[in-house]
Chains A and B, each alone.
Chain A
């Protein structure tokens, strides 16, 4: 409640001061915003099993929002109206509804910035705190409360936050979720110490702390016919420290986080503390970039409600260390971070063969290599006779550097981009993947590991300076899951305003001949400056759509969709 009162007071102050100080009230004010609406009409489709009874009357799904920002000198106020009427397929039923789940007022002057209301914040890499929004996934874990940011001296940034997180449309009440508070300090040493000022080596240090308060819930468990009551912590604290050093083309970044015991639905109510280590090392010069990254995660789910285990109320963000692919079949089996424990390594090389070189040809050629390995961390029973991860216990012990035996995911890819002539260019990819479907998607020994080879050819031909034709061919070979796939797409664009495309994905290798489905799709769009209208008709394959660390399972559907976006 206090935050709301502050917002209103601040708004009133804003009016009053403007009325008093200027002849033209609110002179200098501006309003900008953005808008998006996606509508889908679902048709009956016997092959996908969509009919009157499975749709239950929910023929039309619509997700939409309007974002408004008002700025006037040092003040900013904003709000977002959202409507999910009804939520499109793939979104949780709890999204259904409409209203203003996001509003804030911000004052920013010289070295202070204060925000009251909803806000998004990230400490360091987000290992212990990150609130953000991904509209297309229906993900929003914004904090509603107060945020203060100070720059008391050059190179010094201090932030403090307190609030409760968005939980679909539920109003905050003591007991339906916790309260999150945190502080972060970041120090850019080259601005702080005169002797580092003009040095080529740059050093940044940072540290943060986050704590969650939650009203106690009573939870009991039955072990060997005796009832035990959990002693659950009201407060859970987490700490993180980070370092970033760069020298010429070399950049090293590392962050370590520690979370105190935090029994929760997600970790099966174990009392083991959590740890995360995230490091990257890179080198680059013009035409060459090399990146190595490593990550170790141990029991790092951190939510502001201990009994929640869906994609909501996350306080922190643990990034997956795998490449985000551009093509649909390459994204058939996307990796998602395993918060209960994983070890991950990733390497990337980006190299541009210069123009007019033997291999580079007249226009040069770009090669990108990527490889990622993710496996389990070492987990040993805490005592004889107690299973690993047993509720109410410490869970397991783990030797920090030792890898666990289970491979979760492995990937290797080569991507070559080449311009052949002034009008013809292409991107070619080979990708080799191992994906443990049971572990990553949470099944119980149903699918096992999926081994796949994926090939992509994406060729663009310019018919004239504004007209171009793009052909996209993809193939995926696997003996597991649904077997082989092939896809072909053709897109015609007239820059900058029009596009039309046709595409088909075909599951020709499905062991069940009845499931060898074509996913045929046609789409067209019109664009003017920042407004885009797109219409599509066809069948959509079921799949996992991921942005950052969050993934959403989208079911197969068939029908018409319309998307309108604009910003102003």
Chain B
């Protein structure tokens, strides 16, 4: 049985790698999330009128995540004005704390979009291993850059990439 699975997957991988050579873009999977009010929200609805989008995976129990979002919150107005960017902060809190996500975000004065991924389906589909994990999408919805973890000053790298994407350039992935 294992041999069959391994074989079939090797086929898929080879085929996939061939496909990768063509100009296929890395796009968001379609996953059902909810808003902080429980309203269904499919990730295919993540868009920003042709402007860049940041998707940040976080949780209330994750200290660097809170630090990252607090840091961005301080400059978010300026970022939006300058680049037109929108941030979706996707919480992977489970039912222990998912009900606290909305009130905490609001209480902290965060103005970005908050979504709930209560059973980590979106997190898994995006291959997010550790949080915080941040993705940058260009105006067409292609994932053009990603980054994991946060330390003081990492937000400067992020906004640099956003500026590039907003002006139609590709972000440099080598450093």
A residues lining the B interface (CB < 8 Å): 4, 7-8, 11-12, 15, 24-36, 67-72, 76-77, 79, 99-100, 103, 108, 120-122, 125-126, 130, 132-133, 135, 155, 157, 186, 188, 190-191, 202, 204, 244, 246, 249, 251, 253, 278, 280, 282-291, 293, 317, 319-321, 323-324, 326, 348-352, 364, 366, 368, 417, 460, 462, 465-468, 470, 493-496, 499, 527-530, 532, 547-549, 565-568
Contacts and interface: CB of A to CB of B under 8 A. Distances in A.
A324 B157 contact: no
B151 A251 contact: no
A462 B16 contact: no
Nearest to A322: B96
B60 A324 contact: yes
29 contacts: A7-B5, A15-B11, A24-B19, A27-B19, A29-B19, A35-B129, A70-B9, A76-B125, A79-B9, A121-B119, A126-B119, A186-B40, A188-B40, A191-B40, A244-B37, A282-B103, A284-B106, A286-B106, A287-B106, A288-B106, A324-B60, A348-B104, A350-B108, A468-B152, A496-B147, A496-B153, A499-B151, A565-B130, A567-B127
5 nearest interchain CB pairs? A350-B107, A289-B103, A289-B107, A495-B153, A319-B96
Interface stretch (B24-32, B78-86, B162-170): B24-32
A132 B94 contact: yes
A152 to B, nearest CB: 14
A233 B69 CA distance: 50
A549 B96 contact: yes
Given A28-B24, A249-B106, A351-B107, A70 B16 contact: yes
A549 B61 CA distance: 13
A8 B130 contact: no
A522 to B, nearest CB: 17
B13 A496 contact: no
Contact of B99 (A70, A202, A253): A253
Given A34-B128, A204-B39, A529 B99 contact: no
B18 A126 contact: no
Interface string B107-126: 11101000000111100110
A132 B119 contact: yes
A324 B16 contact: no
A278 B13 CA distance: 44
Given A34-B129, A532-B148, 18 more contacts: A25-B18, A77-B9, A100-B6, A133-B120, A284-B102, A286-B111, A289-B103, A319-B97, A352-B108, A467-B153, A468-B151, A493-B151, A495-B154, A529-B145, A548-B94, A549-B96, A566-B129, A567-B146
B45 interface: no
B5 A103 contact: yes
B15 interface: yes
Contacts of B70: 417
Given A100-B5, A251-B36, A567-B127, A530 B148 contact: yes
A466 B153 contact: yes
B129 A567 contact: yes
A285 B106 contact: yes
B15 A25 contact: yes
Interface of B: 1-2, 4-6, 8-9, 11-13, 15-20, 22, 24, 26, 29-30, 32, 36-40, 60-61, 63, 66, 70, 94-97, 99-100, 102-109, 111, 118-121, 124-125, 127-130, 133, 145-154, 156-157, 173, 175
A246 B116 CA distance: 15
Contacts of B60: 324
Pick from B39, B96, B146, B154 the residue with the most CB of A within 10 Å. B96
B104 A246 contact: no
A286 B114 CA distance: 14
B122 to A, nearest CB: 12
Contact of A283 (B15, B63, B103, B119): B103
B94 A100 contact: no
A567 B148 contact: yes
A251 B37 contact: yes
A184 to B, nearest CB: 12
A208 to B, nearest CB: 14
Given A32-B127, A34-B129, A529-B145, A495 B22 contact: no
The binding surface of chain A is classed by DSSP as: strand
Contacts of A4: 1, 4-5
A375 B62 CA distance: 27
B151 to A, nearest CB: 4
A135 B131 CA distance: 13
Contacts of B104: 289, 291, 348, 350, 368
A125 B108 CA distance: 25
Contact of A352 (B63, B107, B129, B152): B107
A324 B148 contact: no
Contacts of B66: 326
A109 B116 CA distance: 23
Contacts of A34: 127-129
Contacts of B148: 527, 529-530, 532, 565, 567
B103 A284 contact: yes
Nearest to A327: B63
B96 A33 contact: no
Contacts of B39: 188, 190, 202, 204
A246 B133 contact: no
B14 to A, nearest CB: 9
Nearest to B36: A251
A546 to B, nearest CB: 9
A26 B15 contact: yes
A529 B9 CA distance: 27
B30 A291 contact: no
A120 B121 contact: yes
Contacts of B13: 31, 68, 70
B26 to A, nearest CB: 6
Contacts of B37: 202, 244, 246, 251
B146 A530 contact: yes
A33 B107 contact: no
A57 to B, nearest CB: 29
Given A99-B2, A352-B108, A529-B147, A548 B96 contact: yes
B24 A30 contact: yes
A256 to B, nearest CB: 14
